């Protein structure tokens, strides 16, 4: 078969086209929101967003891996005064893994139900200090002064009443680095992005900017400027999962249901921290929207 000879100009166009196609990269989960909106998301399309979000969280709190359960339980705190979230978090207090129990205690403090106070008081005496710290902080959030006992002990080395953390695990409490780790894990306010978890500080070894940007996103949850909503929506498409999770959490706390469709796109994110945060954010924004509709 004779060779086909292209005109010089046509060959150049063909070469440039092939080069352009070769440089195209598949979109990653951390792509921009605008790009993700164009993608087909079969998992979300199968169920209404509210059912999809609840199914995702219910599966997460029963996952085989304790780390997945911990993440799914922790984000229940984005659903204040929600009965279903309250029940799931209270049940997680009985998990065999301390990280899950600690997440449950932290979530209960943010859900804000006084019904959790008796349970949290029991878990202040948990054998694992991280659980006791999370329970104590939750009690403080619920305006129960008994929670201050644990912080008194952290400061002085002994608790005012009852058994304390020091007797059970002196090394974890007396070691500043390990105590800082507990602060990250339980989100008790030692650092701005503590709620994201201990994975944040681990990320510092690989990425020096993402934890700081994540912290900024969380603080922007309370920025009254309406333009910040778009900034956070764009940041939810960041390539770094830490920033995506923080931005979604901030959007949930802002309570602007206009971003609901954008948040729904992250229900199938590759990172558990992101998809569980997205699920809780979707549920909270739907609740806010429905509450607003009832008032009209």
Q: For the domain bounded by 201-296, which CATH number is listed? A: 1.25.10.10
Burial, 41: exposed, middle or buried (Cβ in 10 Å; 0-12, 13-18, 19+)? middle
In this model, does residue 286 exceed pLDDT 90?
Answer: yes
Q: What is the pTM of this model?
A: 0.73
Q: 98-111 vs 83-92: helix axis angle to the nearest 10? A: 150
150 pLDDT band, cuts 50/70/90, is: confident
Render pLDDT for 31-82 as a digit per residue (tens, 0 to 9). Answer: 554 444 444 445 445 789 999 999 999 999 999 999 899 999 999 999 999 9
Render pLDDT for 160-216 as a digit per residue (tens, 0 to 9). Answer: 655 565 545 443 455 555 555 555 444 444 333 444 554 555 555 555 567 767 877
Whole-number pLDDT of residue 40: 40
Question: 246 vs 165, 213, 237, CA distance in Å?
Answer: 31, 9, 11
> Which part of the chain has CATH 1.25.10.10?
201-296
What are residue 242's phi and psi, to 5 degrees?
-65, -45
Render pLDDT for 72-97 as a digit per residue (tens, 0 to 9). Answer: 999 999 999 999 999 999 999 999 99
Render pLDDT for 198-210 as a digit per residue (tens, 0 to 9). Answer: 455 555 555 556 7
């Amino acid at each position: 078969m004779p060779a086909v000879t292209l005109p010089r100009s046509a060959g150049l166009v063909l070469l440039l086209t092939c080069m352009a196609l070769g440089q195209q990269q598949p979109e990653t989960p951390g792509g921009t929101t605008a790009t993700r909106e164009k993608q087909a998301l079969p998992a979300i399309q199968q169920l209404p967003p509210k059912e999809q979000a609840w199914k995702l969280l219910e599966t997460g709190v029963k996952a085989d891996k304790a780390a997945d359960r911990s993440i799914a339980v922790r984000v229940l705190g984005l659903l204040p005064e929600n009965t279903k979230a309250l029940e799931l978090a209270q049940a997680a207090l009985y998990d065999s893994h301390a990280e899950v129990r600690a997440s449950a205690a932290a979530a209960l403090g943010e859900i804000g139900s006084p019904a959790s106070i008796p349970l949290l008081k029991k878990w202040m005496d948990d054998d694992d200090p991280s659980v006791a710290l999370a329970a104590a902080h939750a009690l403080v959030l619920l305006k129960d002064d008994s929670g201050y006992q644990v912080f008194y002990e952290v400061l002085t080395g002994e608790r005012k009443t009852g058994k304390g953390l020091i007797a059970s695990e002196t090394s974890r409490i007396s070691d500043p680095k390990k105590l800082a780790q507990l602060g990250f894990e339980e989100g008790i306010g030692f650092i701005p992005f503590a709620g994201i978890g201990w994975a944040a500080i681990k990320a510092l070894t690989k990425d020096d900017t993402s934890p700081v940007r994540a912290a900024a996103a969380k603080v922007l949850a309370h920025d009254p400027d309406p333009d910040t909503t778009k900034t956070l929506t764009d940041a939810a498409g960041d390539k770094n999962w830490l920033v995506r999770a923080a931005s979604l959490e901030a959007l949930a706390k802002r309570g602007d249901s206009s971003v609901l469709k954008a948040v729904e796109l992250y229900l199938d994110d590759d990172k558990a921290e992101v998809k569980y945060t997205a699920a809780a954010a979707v549920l909270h924004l739907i609740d806010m929207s429905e509450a607003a509709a009832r008032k009209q």
